[in-house]
Amino acid sequence: MSEKELGQKWDRCLADCAVKFGTGLGLGIVFSVVFFKRRTWPIVFGTGLGLGMAYSNCQNDLRSRYVLHSKVAKEQ
């Protein structure tokens, strides 16, 4: 159903966001712990990275309908 599409997109979006957030957080923590002597900025960075990616994905997903797919016509 077309009306479910949006919902599905949002689900995906949120799931993606949660995953990326978690991953970002995790990597941040790892990096913070491993490489940056337990500073907070890698956690935050990683989380932000994750969230940003998620946002971007989400947006792209939601936009996917209206995006014009162009092809470069091969010169013959």
Partner 1 sequence: MLRVCWKGAHAAALTLVWCVCGRKKPTVKCILNMVFLFCRSNAGKIVAASLLTVGGGLGSTILYAKWDPKFRANIEKSVPYSDQLFEMALGPPPPPLVPLQKKPGKIEPLQISSLSEASKESKQPKAKAKKSDPAPVEAPPAVEEMCNSCTSQFVCVCVGEESKDHHEPALKERPAEEVSARLAQQDKVEQDALAALTAGLEESLGSSAKTTLQAIGAQEAVLTAIATHTNKLKEAMDSQTPPDEKSTQWKALNEALSDRTRAMEEAEEALLKAKGELEILRGVINSAKQSKIDAARPQILAAEENLHSMIVDLDKVVTKVQTAQTEAKIMSQYSELVNEAKAQFQQELANITPEIQANWKGLSGKLSADDLNSLIAHAHRRIDQLNRELAEQRVREQIHIEVALEQQKLEDQKALERAVASALEHRREDMRLEQEKKVQEVREVMEAEMRTQLRRQAAAHTDHLRDVLKVQEQELHEEAQEIMNSKMMEQETHYRRLTQEQLDTFTLDMNAAYARLKGIEEAIDSHVIAEEEARKAHQLWLSVEALNYTLKSAGADSPTEPLEGAVGVIKENCAENEFAQALASALPEESLSRGIYGEASLRARFYDIRRLARRVALIDETRNSLYQYFLSYLQSILLFEREQVAPPAKLAPEDLDTFRLLAYATYSIERGDLELAAKFVNQLRGASQRVAQDWLKEARLTLETKQVISLLLAYANAVGLGTTQAP
* Binding site residues, partner 1, CB under 8 A: 1-3, 5-6, 55, 58-59, 62-63, 65-66
Residue 73 beta carbon to partner 1: minimum distance, rounded to whole angstroms: 23
Please say which residue, 44 or 62, places its beta carbon nearer to partner 1.
62
- Contact partners, residue 25, CB within 8 Å, separation at least 6: 43, 46, 47, 50
Residue 22 beta carbon to partner 1: minimum distance, rounded to whole angstroms: 20
User: By the 8 A CB rule, do 16 and 58 touch?
Assistant: yes
**Alpha-carbon distance 16 to 54, whole Å?**
6
Please say which residue, 2 or 76, places its beta carbon nearer to partner 1.
2
